[in-house]
Each structure stands twice: as structure tokens, then as C-alpha cells.
Amino acid sequence: MRLDRWLGNRPELGRQLARRLLAEGRIKVNGATTLQAEREVFAFDRIESDERLLQDGPGGRYLMLHKPRGCVSATVDTRHPTVLDCLDAGQRADLHLAGRLDFNTTGLLLLTNDGQWSRGLSHPRHKQTKRYLVTTAEVIPPHLVAAFAEGLYFAYEDLTTQPAHLELLDQRSAYLTLVEGRYHQVKRMFGRFGIEVIALHRDRIGGLALDPTLAEGAHRALTEQEVALLRPAD
Ligand code: URA
């Protein structure tokens, strides 16, 4: 429901006062003042009028997991362990994955019960970057830096990849930062040049880094600041 209607329906406000509060910049959504009457309100939004709490949402949950090798980024799989097997049974309820990593890719994976947050994260408009540490079997030729920055044509999807940033670390390892997440994108980009990726690890999504104290398979709740960091601006 639109924010102006949502506010107007509150018995303690009513339509007139709701309109005034909005126009005067006295309404905050998730900590930020908003004047956008048409903004959608979701169950997990925290809504305040002046300092009065109107809705606190029923407990959004946000976890970062250090995904280990050999598990599927899914909530159910008949053949393999899933990333949910890294959590205690009691912690899994209602969680879904905000993004995926391949079976043998390790690193930062986010889980939440807040669909608005995860949709915002994966929406191309918000261009959340993802950084991967790539280890290859063959030497990485330096001309890949320019080729990846220019974009590669993927015939299957009939598209050219967005400019990607390749930072060579040594002959067989590099950081690759993408603003999108096509199917097996990193492996396919290197594969185009006959280079096999033998290890792949995601260490950042946007401004959020994988907590270095988390061992493979371990997880922790995101802090409020971390959740806000990945929330799209209105
Ligand atoms: N690109 C890949 O090829 N695999 C991943 O898991 C993520 C990005």
C-alpha cells in the first residue's frame, strides 16, 4: 500500500494529519525522512512519525553466511546438502537466499526473511557490486583487464556483460568485481579466454565485506548498519 494511504488509515493520524506530516518531512521510513507519498509500505518497514513509532515490522532477520564448498544455494535439494544445513533447524524458518553461489564457490551469502530487502539487493537498478577472488589454472594475461572492462558478448543470452573490474594479484589470481550476476558468469568470462577457474570466493557485496572471523560454514546476524548499507535508497 502507498505510504500516504497507509498513514491516512492509521486511526491516530487520519488523512489530513497524515498528508501534513508527510509534506513537512516528519515521517521516517527505516530511519530516513521521506516525502514520497507514493512509496510502497512493506511489513518489515519501520515507520516513525516525529519520534513516535507507528510500525516496527515483525522481526526482519538478516544473516551473512560463509558458504562452504560442496553445498547448493537453495533451500531444498534432494541430492546435496544446501546452505540451510549450515544453520540450526530452529533458525531456518522463513529464510530465503538473497543471491546465489555455485556449488563449489565459497564466500559471502546473505539470507533473510525480508523479501523487499532481498529484491532491492538483486535489482539491476541498484547495481550492488560483487567482488570475487578468482584462482585460475592458467596464467591470466593482462589484456583481460581491458577485455572485461569493455564487456563480453554472451550469445546464449544475447547480451554484453556490464563493465567489470579485474585487479590482477599475481599470475593466477585476481579480484573480479561485477555489477550483475549472470549464470556462472565468472567462470564463463575466464572460460572465453581458455582459462579455467579452479577456486572462486566472494568476499564483498556492495559495501558489505565477509566477516573475516567467520570460518567456512559459520554465520552471524547482520548489524542494523549492515542491513541499511544494502538497502536501496528510496
Ligand atoms: N560466477 C560464477 O561463475 N560462479 C559463482 O558462484 C558466482 C559467480
Centre of ligand 1 from the C-alpha of residue 107, in Å: 11
Q: pTM for the complete prediction? A: 0.80
Strands 106-112 and 197-205: parallel
131 phi/psi in degrees, rounded to 5: -110, 135
Active-site annotation, residues: 102
Query: 220 to each of 21, 61, 223, how far by Cα in Å?
Result: 37, 11, 9
* Helix, coil or strand: residue 190: helix
* One pLDDT digit (tens) per residue for the chain, 234 residues: 899 999 999 888 889 999 999 999 999 988 889 999 999 887 778 888 987 888 876 578 899 999 999 999 999 999 999 999 999 888 887 899 999 999 999 999 999 988 888 988 888 777 899 999 999 999 999 999 999 999 999 999 999 999 999 999 999 999 999 999 999 999 999 999 999 999 999 999 999 999 999 999 999 999 888 998 998 765
Name the H helices within the chain. 3-8, 14-23, 115-122, 144-150, 185-191, 224-229
Q: Which atom of ligand 1 is nearest to 100's Cα?
A: 6
Ligand 1 centre to CA of 182 (Å) is 8
* Ligand 1 atom having least distance to the Cα of 184: 3
202 CA: nearest ligand 1 atom:
7
* Distance (Å) from CA 68 to ligand 1 centroid: 14
**Residue closest to 45 by CA, chosen among 32, 64, 35, 26:** 32
Identify the CA nearest to 205 among candidates 94, 89, 107.
Answer: 107
Q: Cβ(117)–Cβ(62) under 8 Å?
A: yes
Pocket test of ligand 1: the residue of 130, 131, 132 to mutate, having most ligand atoms within 8 Å of its CB, is 132
